Amino acid sequence: MRVLQTILFLLLFISTSTQAQSIINVHDRTTTSLNGTWKVLIDPYENGLYNYRLQPFDEMENPGRAAYFTDSKQRDKTELLEYDWDTSPTIQVPGDWSHQKDEFKWYEGTMWYRKKFSYQKQEGNNRVFLHFGAVNYYSKVFLNGEKLGENIGGFTPFQFEITDKLKEENSLVVYVNNNRKPEGIPTVNTDWFNYGGITRDVVLIETPGTFIEDYFVQLNPDNARELTGYIQLNGVVSDQEITIEIPEAGVKFTTQTNTEGKAEFTKKIKKLRYWTPEDPKLYTVNIHSETDLVTDQIGFRTIKTDGPDILLNGKSVFLRGISIHEENPYRVGRAYSEADAELLLGWAKDLGCNFVRLAHYPHNEYMIEKANELGLMVWEEVPVYWTIHWNNPDTYKNASNQLSTVINRDKNSAATIIWSLANETPVSDPRNDFLFELSKLARSLDNTRLLSAAMEVHTEPDNPLEFIVEDKLAEFVDIVAFNEYIGWYNGLPSKLENSSWKIPYDKPVFISEFGAGAKAGFHADSLTRFSEEYQADLYKRSITALQSIENLRGMSPWILVDFRSPRRQLTGIQDGWNRKGLIGDQGEKKQAFYILQEFYRSKASEKH
Ligand code: GCB
Residues 311-329 have pLDDT tens digits of: 999 999 999 999 999 999 9
Number of domains in the chain: 2
| Res 20 pLDDT > 50 | no
DSSP state, 518? B
| Res 4 pLDDT > 50 | no
Cα-to-centroid distance, 603 and ligand 1 (Å): 26
In whole angstroms, give the CA distance from residue 399 to residue 223. 32
The residue from 164, 186, 207 where one domain ends is 207
Ligand 1 pocket, Cβ-based, cut-off 6 angstroms:
191, 360, 423-424, 483, 513, 558, 578, 580
Strand ranges (E), 79-126: 90-93, 110-118
**Best of 325, 382, 456, 483 for a ligand 1 pocket test (most atoms within 8 Å of beta carbon):** 483
- Beta strands 146-152 and 138-143, pairing class: antiparallel
**Best of 323, 385, 513 for a ligand 1 pocket test (most atoms within 8 Å of beta carbon):** 513
Across 18-53, b (16+ Cβ under 10 Å) vs e yields: ebebbbbbbeebebeebbeebbbbebeebbbbbeee
Is residue 293 situated within a structural domain?
yes
Q: Do residues 62 and 203 both lie within one domain?
A: yes
| Res 58 pLDDT > 90 | yes
| Res 236 pLDDT > 90 | no
Longest dimension (CA), the chain: 81
Is residue 121 situated within a structural domain?
yes
Cα-to-centroid distance, 191 and ligand 1 (Å): 6
Q: Do residues 93 and 202 both lie within one domain?
A: yes
Q: Do residues 61 and 101 both lie within one domain?
A: yes
Can you tell me the mean pLDDT for 158-169?
A: 97
| Res 543 pLDDT > 70 | yes
Which residue has its alpha carbon closest to ligand 1 atom 13?
191
pLDDT classification of 238: cutoffs 50, 70, 90: confident
Is residue 435 situated within a structural domain?
no
Is residue 185 situated within a structural domain?
yes
Q: Do residues 180 and 223 both lie within one domain?
A: no
What pLDDT does 608 receive?
56
Is residue 406 situated within a structural domain?
no
Q: Do residues 145 and 230 both lie within one domain?
A: no
Nearest residue to 29 via CA among 165, 160, 128: 128
Cα-to-centroid distance, 61 and ligand 1 (Å): 47
The residue from 172, 207, 242 where one domain ends is 207
Identity at 294, one-letter amino acid code? V
CATH of the domain at 87: 2.60.120.260
Q: Do residues 148 and 264 both lie within one domain?
A: no
Q: Do residues 229 and 129 both lie within one domain?
A: no
Nearest residue to 157 via CA among 25, 257, 29: 25
Is residue 288 situated within a structural domain?
yes
Cα-to-centroid distance, 455 and ligand 1 (Å): 12
Which residue has its alpha carbon closest to ligand 1 atom 4?
191
Q: Do residues 99 and 197 both lie within one domain?
A: yes
Cα-to-centroid distance, 31 and ligand 1 (Å): 38
| Res 17 pLDDT > 70 | no
Q: Do residues 217 and 197 both lie within one domain?
A: no
Helix (H) or strand (E) holding 276: none
Q: Which domain holds residue 273?
A: 211-302
Q: Which atom of ligand 1 is nearest to the CA of 454?
A: 8
**Best of 189, 191, 386 for a ligand 1 pocket test (most atoms within 8 Å of beta carbon):** 191
Is residue 312 situated within a structural domain?
no
Is residue 336 situated within a structural domain?
no
The CA radius of gyration of the chain, in Å to the nearest whole number, is: 25
% of the chain exceeding 70 in pLDDT: 96
**Best of 387, 558, 577, 579 for a ligand 1 pocket test (most atoms within 8 Å of beta carbon):** 558
The residue from 302, 323, 345 where one domain ends is 302
pLDDT classification of 19: cutoffs 50, 70, 90: very low
Which residue has its alpha carbon closest to ligand 1 atom 7?
483
Give the HSE-up count for residue 198: Cα atoms under 13 Å, Cβ half-sphere.
Answer: 31
CATH of the domain at 247: 2.60.40.10
| Res 15 pLDDT > 60 | no
Q: Which atom of ligand 1 is nearest to the CA of 359?
A: 9
Q: Do residues 77 and 162 both lie within one domain?
A: yes
Q: Do residues 167 and 284 both lie within one domain?
A: no
% of the chain exceeding 90 in pLDDT: 95
Can you tell me the mean pLDDT for 218-239?
A: 95
pTM of the model: 0.96
Q: Do residues 161 and 297 both lie within one domain?
A: no
